[in-house]
Amino acid sequence: MSEKLVDAKGMLCPRPLILVKKALAAIEIGEGLKILLDNETACENVLRFLQDSKAQPTSANEAGCFVIYATKTAGEQPSKAAGEQASKSADACCDPAVANKPPVLVLNHPGMGFGSEELGRLLIQACLNTVKELNPLPSAIVFYNGGAYLVCEGSPVMETLRELEQSGVKLLVCGTCLEYYDLKARRKVGTVSNMFDIMQTMAGAGHVINP
């Protein structure tokens, strides 16, 4: 049996899971994966995904490294099932024309959540790396209040935002917020916007995500 290697050592969530999902989708039924991880949380997430995907995962700890073996079967992957169910739910509860519109992501804080600022910075990086894998991508990402720092020099998510912008995602930055925090000269990505455009963008979205 052929086997594809996924070396995710040294990677933070959600990158290992994203790599495994892509690798599983790329191989044929009956082919296997060998996954290398050095993060226990990532190992648990990957195992749960593979179990849900009926990929028959087994795991071992070899020289301080988590090693997972899995085999692709004919079972339907959960992402497809979840997508179909979400589509049915959307059709049942709201206008399909609205439900099929891409979302808009709203970021109003330089991290994600409240509590540890260091943890918040790690979480926002994981959040935006995950956003890159969404289908469809958000039509826009709106930055206001403290979220304006994310589009400026020194931002931990600058490269990810550049990738999203190059993929066609609009990055709308509150001009009033840039002025308030004296950030206009430090902005590196995005378009300086205003409250009318921001509210119009949010009102026209399929749904608004505010992590």
- Which amino acid does the sequence have at 163? E
Q: Would you give the DSSP letter of residue 29?
A: T
pLDDT digits 0-9 by tens, 35-62: 999 988 788 889 988 998 999 999 998 8
Which residue(s) pair with 107 in the sheet? Answer: 143
**Of 3.40.50.1000, 3.30.70.260, 3.40.190.10, 3.30.110.40, which CATH number belongs to 3-71?**
3.30.110.40
Which positions ≥6 away from 59 have C-beta within 8 Å?
Answer: 43, 47, 66, 67, 68, 69
At 85 the pLDDT is: 44
Task: Give how far the C-alpha of residue 145 lies from the chain's centroid of Cα atoms, to the nearest Å.
Answer: 22
At 92 the pLDDT is: 41
At 83 the pLDDT is: 45
Pairing of strands 32-37, 65-71: antiparallel
pLDDT band for position 99 (cuts 50, 70, 90): low
Ranges of CATH 3.40.1260.10 domains, the chain: 101-209
Residue 122 tokens read as: 């790690």
CB of 178 closer than 8 Å to CB of 147: no
Q: Which residue has the higher pLDDT, 206 or 7?
A: 7
Percent of the chain with pLDDT over 90: 64
At 97 the pLDDT is: 55
Q: Which of 184, 108, 118, 113 is nearest to 150 (CA)?
A: 108
At 202 the pLDDT is: 94
CB of 126 closer than 8 Å to CB of 18: no
At 44 the pLDDT is: 86
Q: Which CATH class name applies to 101-209?
A: alpha beta
Ranges of CATH 3.30.110.40 domains, the chain: 3-71
Helix ranges, the chain (H): 15-26, 40-52, 78-93, 96-99, 117-131, 158-166, 175-180, 195-203
- Which amino acid does the sequence have at 63? A
pLDDT band for position 18 (cuts 50, 70, 90): confident
Half-sphere exposure of 118 (CA within 13 A, CB side): 0
From the CA atom positions of the chain, what is the Rg in Å? Answer: 20
pLDDT at 91 over 50: no
At 96 the pLDDT is: 55
Within 10 angstroms of residue 129's Cβ, the number of other Cβ atoms is: 18
How far, in Å, CA of 41 to CA of 199, rounded? 38
- Across 13-21, average pLDDT: 85
The three-point CA angle 172-178-179 to 5° equals 140
Half-sphere exposure of 99 (CA within 13 A, CB side): 14
pLDDT digits 0-9 by tens, 133-179: 888 999 999 999 999 999 999 999 999 999 999 999 999 999 999 99
